[in-house]
């Protein structure tokens, strides 16, 4: 008699390199399931941009499974109840899934696993999202790392070449339970603000693979030199695909190794490349989130819990709209609103401006990114905001304030990035486009700066210095 197994898809929306799917297929027939239960994700259910991407990615997964004659079943939560009902309806004797690492989801999954096993079902989880599990990497004292460089050194030492799993040769469909359509989940907003995102992104495993291939064909070999240039198309743009598990880090590692070897790149060079190191930063973000689950809301460095922010909702909203009068900041915020994404260098610039020029709490910025980024990832979002605010692991020193004018002139030297997103500045010369007010240029359609950069920097440094001297 053929064993039936449920494959519970979550942030692993792919068939290749999917250990839960492989385990189920090895036993016999499979029942692929996605359960929509945002209320079980604590304070961090998917934001608006993430919901749009999720809907598109589920449709792509449904189409890919259909090519193998296997339907995707969609349910609404609660997850434990839904899985029990599906198991009863299909005669499934096992449930397999790939692990997530958000604190609320870990707690939920623990309860689900216990409930399923109590019912006599086999329930197992696997690692499809990381090169190393967060609990596998420790410092010499047996504690979690809080500094990236020794963390990544230990990771690489523990890592053999992580070969990705192939799609199982045979995918046999099990009995199909009654479910509902992906469209019925209401993931797509009624007002089609996402039209520009749909023009520049292709959610799904196929889109992820195409994005990786395009990057490795040429951009990888110039990544270290060009990655900080938002005016160039020089980054991988894989972050949303990685977040939704449309591609996994083992696949990225293996494909990068193959591309580098094909070009005759030395083994030690590609392993130490900036791009591979970025995979390390992603691992580090998950390591921190797992070991310090309070950090999405609280600073890792406890001395910053009482930092003297000056909350001002009007200033935050001006920043959100891209109306601060600082071109590099506004260009980034407008890119975010239009494409659901922002270049990483610009993310640091806009985050520094919010926290260190406007003295607004980093949590406000993290929440806005969470709602508007298609790659909104709790681990990476938390790491990035705490790094810039100076209150997290590997934190930027408190006296490091990104000057958006200098950053613009260095990384957008001809002003092409600013001109793309702030067309009202198109008539300005390269030398003044990043600080039109300094040259006396007046653009009636563009606001004057909401703060003086020098004065606000000095105020921030004074506040940070007072905090530092109290320790």
Q: In this structure, are 232 and 100 located in the same domain? A: no
Q: Which of 244, 264, 291 represents a domain boundary (last residue)? A: 291
Count of domains observed in the chain:
3
Q: In this structure, are 158 and 245 located in the same domain? A: yes
Q: Which 8-state DSSP code applies to residue 167?
A: P
CA atoms of 212 and 214, how far apart (whole Å): 5
Q: What is the pLDDT of residues 195-232, one digit of tens each?
A: 999 999 999 999 999 999 999 999 999 999 999 999 99
Alpha carbon distances (Å) from 126 to 16, 32, 100, 388, 435: 14, 16, 9, 33, 51
Of 41, 127, 133, 281, the active-site residue reads 281
What's the pTM? Answer: 0.96
Q: Where are the alpha helices (DSSP H) in 97-248?
A: 103-118, 148-158, 195-200, 205-217, 223-226, 239-243
Is residue 94 a contact partner of residue 123, using CB atoms and an 8 Å limit? Answer: yes
CA atoms of 407 and 419, how far apart (whole Å): 15
Q: What is the pLDDT of residues 101-112, one digit of tens each?
A: 999 999 999 999
Q: What is the pLDDT of residues 278-310, one digit of tens each?
A: 999 999 999 999 999 999 999 999 989 989 999
Is residue 226 a contact partner of residue 233, using CB atoms and an 8 Å limit? Answer: no
The answer as to whether 190 is a domain residue is no
Q: Which 8-state DSSP code applies to residue 374?
A: T
Answer yes or no: 385 catalytic. Answer: yes
Is residue 164 a contact partner of residue 303, using CB atoms and an 8 Å limit? Answer: no
Residue 365 belongs to domain with CATH number:
1.10.579.10
Q: In this structure, are 270 and 328 located in the same domain? A: no
Q: What is the pLDDT of residues 160-178, one digit of tens each?
A: 777 999 999 999 999 999 9
pLDDT above 90 coverage of the chain, percent: 90
Residue 101 belongs to domain with CATH number:
3.40.50.620
Structure tokens at 52: 């749009």
Of 40, 62, 278, 320, the active-site residue reads 278
The 10 Å Cβ neighbour count of residue 228 is 18
Q: What is the mean pLDDT of residues 77-104?
A: 98
Structure tokens at 19: 């250990």
Is residue 414 a contact partner of residue 231, using CB atoms and an 8 Å limit? Answer: yes
Q: In this structure, are 142 and 274 located in the same domain? A: yes
Of 41, 127, 138, 309, the active-site residue reads 309
CA atoms of 295 and 302, how far apart (whole Å): 10
Domain encompassing residue 64: 3-128
Answer yes or no: 253 catalytic. Answer: no
Answer yes or no: 152 catalytic. Answer: no
The answer as to whether 67 is a domain residue is yes
Burial bucket for residue 130 (CB in 10 Å: 0-12, 13-18, 19+): buried
CA atoms of 95 and 84, how far apart (whole Å): 10
Q: In this structure, are 309 and 369 located in the same domain? A: yes
Per-residue confidence band for 469, with pLDDT thresholds at 50, 70 and 90: low
Q: In this structure, are 255 and 309 located in the same domain? A: no
The answer as to whether 406 is a domain residue is yes
Q: Which 8-state DSSP code applies to residue 141?
A: T
Half-sphere exposure of 187 (CA within 13 A, CB side): 23
The answer as to whether 328 is a domain residue is yes
Q: In this structure, are 332 and 415 located in the same domain? A: yes
Answer yes or no: 281 catalytic. Answer: yes
The answer as to whether 233 is a domain residue is yes
Q: What is the mean pLDDT of residues 35-51?
A: 98
Of 270, 319, 362, 421, the active-site residue reads 362
Residue among 422, 417, 419 nearest 445 (CA): 422
Answer yes or no: 278 catalytic. Answer: yes
The answer as to whether 169 is a domain residue is no
Beta-bridge mates of residue 8: 33, 97
The answer as to whether 297 is a domain residue is no
pLDDT of residue 56: 98
Q: In this structure, are 245 and 231 located in the same domain? A: yes
Q: In this structure, are 258 and 375 located in the same domain? A: no
State phi, psi for 28 to the nearest 5 degrees.
Answer: 155, -130
CA atoms of 336 and 381, how far apart (whole Å): 14
End-to-end CA distance of the chain: 67
Per-residue confidence band for 141, with pLDDT thresholds at 50, 70 and 90: very high
Structure tokens at 172: 């046999």
Q: Which of 291, 316, 346 represents a domain boundary (last residue)? A: 291
Of 8, 97, 385, 387, the active-site residue reads 385
Q: In this structure, are 109 and 12 located in the same domain? A: yes
Alpha carbon distances (Å) from 234 to 24, 237, 310: 39, 9, 37
Sign of the C-alpha dihedral, residues 202, 238, 252, 283? negative
Q: In this structure, are 153 and 226 located in the same domain? A: yes
The 10 Å Cβ neighbour count of residue 278 is 18
Q: What angle do CA 358, 345, 317 make, to 5 degrees?
A: 35
The answer as to whether 439 is a domain residue is yes
Q: In this structure, are 306 and 453 located in the same domain? A: yes
Answer yes or no: 341 catalytic. Answer: no
Burial bucket for residue 352 (CB in 10 Å: 0-12, 13-18, 19+): buried
Residue 253 belongs to domain with CATH number:
1.25.40.80
Q: Which of 235, 256, 291 represents a domain boundary (last residue)? A: 291
Q: Is the pLDDT of residue 394 over 90?
A: no
Residue among 95, 155, 104 nearest 130 (CA): 155
């Amino acid at each position: 008699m053929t064993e039936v197994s449920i494959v519970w898809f979550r942030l692993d929306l792919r068939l290749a390199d999917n250990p839960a799917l492989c385990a189920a297929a090895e036993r016999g027939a499979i029942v692929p399931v996605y359960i929509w239960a945002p209320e079980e994700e604590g304070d961090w259910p998917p934001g608006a941009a993430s919901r749009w991407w999720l809907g598109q990615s589920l449709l792509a997964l449904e189409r890919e499974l259909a090519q193998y004659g296997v339907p995707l079943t969609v349910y609404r939560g609660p997850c434990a109840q839904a899985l029990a009902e599906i198991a009863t309806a299909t005669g499934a004797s096992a449930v397999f899934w790939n692990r997530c690492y958000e604190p609320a989801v870990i707690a939920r999954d623990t309860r689900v696993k216990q409930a399923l096993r109590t019912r006599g079902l086999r329930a197992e989880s696997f690692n499809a999202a990381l090169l190393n599990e967060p609990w596998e990497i420790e410092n010499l004292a047996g504690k979690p790392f809080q500094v990236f460089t020794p963390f990544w050194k230990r990771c690489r030492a523990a890592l053999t070449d992580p070969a990705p799993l192939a799609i199982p040769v045979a995918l046999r469909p099990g009995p199909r339970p009654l479910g509902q359509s992906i469209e019925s989940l209401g993931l797509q907003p009624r007002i089609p603000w996402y039209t520009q995102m749909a023009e520049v992104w292709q959610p799904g495993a196929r889109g992820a693979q195409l994005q990786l291939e395009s990057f490795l064909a040429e951009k990888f070999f110039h990544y270290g030199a060009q990655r900080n240039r938002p005016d160039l198309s020089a980054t991988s743009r894989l972050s949303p695909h990685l977040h939704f598990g449309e591609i996994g880090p083992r696949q990225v590692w293996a494909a990068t190794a193959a591309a580098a070897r094909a070009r005759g790149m030395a083994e030690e060079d590609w392993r130490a490349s900036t791009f591979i190191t970025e995979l390390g930063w992603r691992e580090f973000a998950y390591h921190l989130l797992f070991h310090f689950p309070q950090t999405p809301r609280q600073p890792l460095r406890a001395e910053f819990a009482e930092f003297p922010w000056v909350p001002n909702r009007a200033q935050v909203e001006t920043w959100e709209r891209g109306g601060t009068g600082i071109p590099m900041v506004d260009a980034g915020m407008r890119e975010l609103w239009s494409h659901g994404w922002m270049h990483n260098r610009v993310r640091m610039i806009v985050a520094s401006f919010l926290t260190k020029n406007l003295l607004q709490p980093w949590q406000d910025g993290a929440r806005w990114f969470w709602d508007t980024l298609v790659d909104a990832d709790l681990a990476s979002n938390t790491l990035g905001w705490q790094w810039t605010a100076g209150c997290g692991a590997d934190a930027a020193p408190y006296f490091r304030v990104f000057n958006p004018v200098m950053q613009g002139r260095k990384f957008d030297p001809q002003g092409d990035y600013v001109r793309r997103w702030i067309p009202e500045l198109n008539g300005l010369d390269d030398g003044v486009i990043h600080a039109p007010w300094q040259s006396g240029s007046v653009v009636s359609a563009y606001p004057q700066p909401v703060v003086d950069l020098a004065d606000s920097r000095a105020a921030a440094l004074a506040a940070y210095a007072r905090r530092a001297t109290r320790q």
